Structure 1
Amino acid sequence: MGEVRYAVTLSRFESYAVARAGVARVALGGELDWDSAPYVHKAVAACLAEQPKTLCLDLTDVSFCDCAGGNALLEARSAVRAAGAGLVVEGIGAQLARLLALIGASDLLPAGRVAEATEPARRD
């Protein structure tokens, strides 16, 4: 498997994705809302095309998430499961944790850490 990279930058949202060595990482930052939610699907799809064994959603830099963003994360979870890959979620902040609790989805996004071969997903 080669390396796949995908990046999107909007005025208040960024996503970076990389897949290699059987592990994929999608790092999201800024506001995850109605305008940016479609880019979550695109980043996840770009990584899943490489058939990783594990996909990590890094939400550490997400500053805001509305229901559309929460739905995009749940759709990402479904896509990862349908592809037969494992899912790990990093960096769920207080606001996103509260949203997930309110919609009864706290247990659907498993927290963990996957770093193997994927750390360069972010640009500095």
Structure 2
Amino acid sequence: MTAHPFTSNVVVRSGVARVTLAGELDLDTAPHVLEAVSACLPKQPMSICLDLTGVSFCDCAGLGALLRARTFVLRAGVDLVVEGIGAQLARLLSLVGADHILAERNAATRTKPAHHASATVAARRDAEPAITAEAPLRDLLA
């Protein structure tokens, strides 16, 4: 049993979906990330805020789930904002060279999030090959 059980919460209001994750994000809990993100897409939000403030631990499976969720959201043509990246996850992102991919929005960038999908998402979505389980990390980060 994990010290910090994983939970997810999805709230959609006024075209903005807030996906709040908490606990340990690992091999056992990673599938729940895409489930949580997928749950809000039928409501057609204009943007998704992925709140990671409560994530106490993230391993490589959890990181992979976050990157797949990012790709899924952007391919759906929805803007993505990430908040609450803790020190452990920030270090993991830095170690794999993905710290700019899931960059966090902070007070200095409130009007211009560090990671914000643009109108070119649809064009990229049509031009990109499908992501498979064998796709290298660099393809997920593109």
Q: Which amino acid aligns with 1:88?
A: V
CA distance in 2, matches of 1:72, 1:94: 18
Measured after TM superposition, the shift of residue 21 of structure 1 is: 1.4
Q: Counterparts in 2 of 1:23-62, with a 5 A limit?
A: 23-62=16-55
2:36 partner SS: helix
1:87 partner SS: strand
1:106 partner SS: coil
Measured after TM superposition, the shift of residue 110 of structure 1 is: 3.0
1:64 partner SS: strand
Q: Deviations over 1:28-82 (max 9, x none)?
A: 0010000111001100001112111110000001000000000110011001101
Q: Counterparts in 2 of 1:1-124, with a 5 A limit?
A: 12-112=5-105
2:62 partner SS: helix
CA distance in 1, matches of 2:96, 2:41: 26
Q: Which amino acid aligns with 1:22?
A: G
Unaligned runs of 5+ in 1: 1-10, 115-124
Q: Larger C-alpha radius of gyration, 1 or 2?
A: 2
Contact 1:56-1:90 at 8 Å conserved across structures: yes
Unaligned runs of 5+ in 2: 111-142
Tell me the TM-score normalised to structure 2 length: 0.70
CA distance in 2, matches of 1:111, 1:66: 18
Q: Which amino acid aligns with 2:104?
A: A
Instruction: Report % sequence identity.
Output: 62
Q: Which has the higher strand share?
A: 1
- State the aligned residue count: 104
Q: Which amino acid aligns with 1:29?
A: A
- Structure 1 residue ranges, 4+ long, deviating more than 6 angstroms after superposition: none
Where does residue 122 of structure 1 map in the other structure?
A: none
